[in-house]
Structure 1
Amino acid sequence: MEGTYAPRRALPHPIEIILLAREIDAPALLPSAMYDLSRYTPSQAALGCTSSQTGAILRLGDDDLLNMLRGREHASRFFSTFIVNELEGREPSLWCLHRKEEKPIDRRACQIAFETITFELLRDVNGVVNNRTSDPLYAISDAELLQTKEDMPGGDNVPTMRTCEPCRSEFGTVVDTAKEEFWRKLPVWFCVDVPTWG
């Protein structure tokens, strides 16, 4: 079905990558593969996958499964902390274009947009629509993308999630910093030693 998030049609399953990385001693493959697997439900990860080569059922060892689940929790905690620290009650930029509006509601336009974005992320719209049960990195990116998405045809087309450009730009910097920090922490979260990770 077009528009459905289904990377497995073209890419190997993350369990296959994890097992291969262990077999050939390539730890640099593990953090991203573990993160990819952590986006599945815990029960799906525990059940394993069917080998694309042999058709056999492949499962992670207990240590890798536990490390993946721990890493999933760390990623979720990072995302919830991001929401609390960077979105909840976010003040508009000092250069906000709405600061000098006459009506109080107009002065709060960017703050209302940030509150709406917070609500959308907490509702996990991206998870339901795109079949991403737990993808904090995508959700952090989506926090900025929600401010620039086109209006939906046939909808009210009220840009309630759009901030002015100075507020969006300032928040975009925060999002970029959070994504870089998130990626840098993957090896620690998933208990993988990768000295050159970056």
Structure 2
Amino acid sequence: MATTSTSSRHFTRLIHRPAPGMSDKLAAGIGSGTSSGIDKKPSVTFDKSGTSLIVDSETEQVLRRHPDLYLEDGSVIVRAEDTLFRVHISMLSRHSIFFRDVFGMPKGGEGTDQLDGCPVLFLQDRAEDVANLLSALYDGPVLRDNSPDDFRVVAGVCRLATKYLIDTLRVKTIAHLSKAWPSTLKEWDAREDAARVHEIAFASANPPTLPRYPNPVDVVNLAREVDAPSLLPSALYDLSRYPFTQIFEDQSASLDVHDLQRLCLGKEAAQHAITTLIQSMTHAQFGRQFPYHTHIRSASKGKASAHGSAVCMSPAACRKDFAELVELATQHYLFDRERGCGDPLYVAEELGQLKSVEFSECAACARSLEAWAAREREKMWKMIPTWFRLESPTPEDSPRTSGELSR
């Protein structure tokens, strides 16, 4: 078999016999992923009722035309698994650098195998993913809500867009996935709000509904496969909130050894961050970290001071409330390990929201607690790449183009 160019290797093979004058690159089976050096030639036959069938002459497998993507005026037939797609060379070449190079090679002569008057291109990809990719090229990508079903479709398109150098689809799909695994705390909070609404709405559903988002293991693996490092911090953080029993009992997907190590280190760091958070709160109760908590009595309860800062109206009572709050948080998150015990962002958010309960009579302390929690959450968010031993995401990382990946 002849060798192929770097841009074509590992992706596909053309189904034909070498013809005089045809480029060796086009005539050869491409990459080591092909099952053999023998061409898989489809042929037309008929069943007993006279219905025409397309059969793989090597395996005798019956092939089917895709119901929506076998176009009468198509100029090339793409085969994936047992499915045939008849599409346009011009459409593939317009969007894909890879296909543009393949179809730009010298054409074969009379010896080239054809089906329905078109050359046949065999792709070593799942038929479902190829169908979704071609639909996205013709009709635009369908980007929904990052649910498990949506992720299955978008991930398949993203893989093939990366593989076949279709930059427009690659950028769009990674941007869509970034809404569920974002790089900013504000977007993460919006994601979590949607998850909580879903959890409440479907908590008593029978039969149980799918989770709001897909398994983060699949997201981590996809990010590695398509080189989208901007998805990794939030995906690994999301996964770190799962108990190890749940992570390891699910056999549908698994991390490689390096990401598994990152997960363990990050999970430990996240749990330690909760201890540090509560310890920080212990010191903050004495006014060291709350700039507006001055412990100065004022004749005007809840009003701003002469310097424009609200002041604590009842320092003794507030110190007592802080002490009780620290004790409660320690018991709940560190000893009892209740909900959120592995999610420091959630813990900090919940502590900050206790202002309306614990400090309803002191606006200054309520605001101080809320501001403290917001600052701590921002600090933790910035630390996530470090917790999981990842390089900090940069604008250049999210998302890179296929051309840059091939360099």
TM class by shorter chain equals 0.7 to 0.9
CA separation of 1:119 and 1:7: change in aligned 2, threshold 3 A: farther
Given the alignment, which residue of 367, 381, 384 partners 1:186?
384
Partner of 2:312: 96
Partner of 1:140: 348
Q: Which residues in structure 2 correspond to 1:1-198 (within 5 Å)? A: 2=200, 9-48=211-250, 57-87=252-282, 90-91=285-286, 93-94=293-294, 95-99=311-315, 108-124=316-332, 128=338, 131-148=339-356, 159=357, 161-162=358-359, 164-196=362-394
Cα offset for 1:7? 10
Separation of aligned partners in 2, 1:8 and 1:187: 29
CA separation of 1:191 and 1:7: change in aligned 2, threshold 3 A: farther
Separation of aligned partners in 1, 2:238 and 2:209: 10
Contact 1:88/1:115 (<8 A) preserved: no
Q: Which moved more, 1:136-145 or 1:162-171?
A: 162-171
Cα offset for 1:162? 2.4
Separation of aligned partners in 1, 2:374 and 2:254: 34
Contact 1:147/1:168 (<8 A) preserved: yes
CA separation of 1:90 and 1:133: change in aligned 2, threshold 3 A: closer
CA separation of 1:70 and 1:7: change in aligned 2, threshold 3 A: farther
Q: Return the letter of the residue paired with 1:71.
A: G
Q: Return the letter of the residue paired with 2:239.
A: L
Separation of aligned partners in 1, 2:267 and 2:324: 26
Separation of aligned partners in 1, 2:231 and 2:369: 31
Cα offset for 1:42? 2.1
Separation of aligned partners in 2, 1:184 and 1:25: 21
Count of equivalent residues: 168
Q: Return the letter of the residue paired with 1:110.
A: C
Cα offset for 1:127? 6.0
Contact 1:15/1:48 (<8 A) preserved: no
CA separation of 1:165 and 1:190: change in aligned 2, threshold 3 A: same
Q: Return the letter of the residue paired with 1:120.
A: L
Cα offset for 1:133? 4.7
Cα offset for 1:132? 3.7
Q: What are the superposed Cα offsets for residues 83-130 of structure 1, whole Å, 9 maximum, x if unpaired?
A: 11223571252121114xxxxxxxx221122122212222226963xx
Separation of aligned partners in 2, 1:37 and 1:195: 18
Separation of aligned partners in 2, 1:117 and 1:8: 36
Secondary structure of residue in 2 paired with 1:191: coil
Q: Which moved more, 1:33-42 or 1:114-123?
A: 114-123
Separation of aligned partners in 2, 1:74 and 1:115: 25
Using the size of structure 2 for normalisation, the TM-score is 0.38
Secondary structure of residue in 2 paired with 1:192: coil
Greater relative CO (CA pairs within 8 A, separation 6+): 1
Separation of aligned partners in 1, 2:367 and 2:209: 31
CA separation of 1:22 and 1:48: change in aligned 2, threshold 3 A: farther
Separation of aligned partners in 2, 1:165 and 1:189: 35
Separation of aligned partners in 1, 2:210 and 2:353: 25
Separation of aligned partners in 2, 1:18 and 1:186: 15
Contact 1:89/1:111 (<8 A) preserved: no
Separation of aligned partners in 2, 1:7 and 1:73: 31
| RMSD of aligned alpha carbons | 2.7
Q: What are the superposed Cα offsets for residues 31-52 of structure 1, whole Å, 9 maximum, x if unpaired?
A: 1011111111123223346xxx
Separation of aligned partners in 1, 2:373 and 2:340: 19
Structure 1 unaligned spans of 5+? 50-56, 100-107, 149-158
Contact 2:278/2:326 (<8 A) preserved: yes
Secondary structure of residue in 2 paired with 1:59: coil
Between Structure 1 and Structure 2, the one with more strand by share is 2
Q: Which has the larger radius of gyration?
A: 2
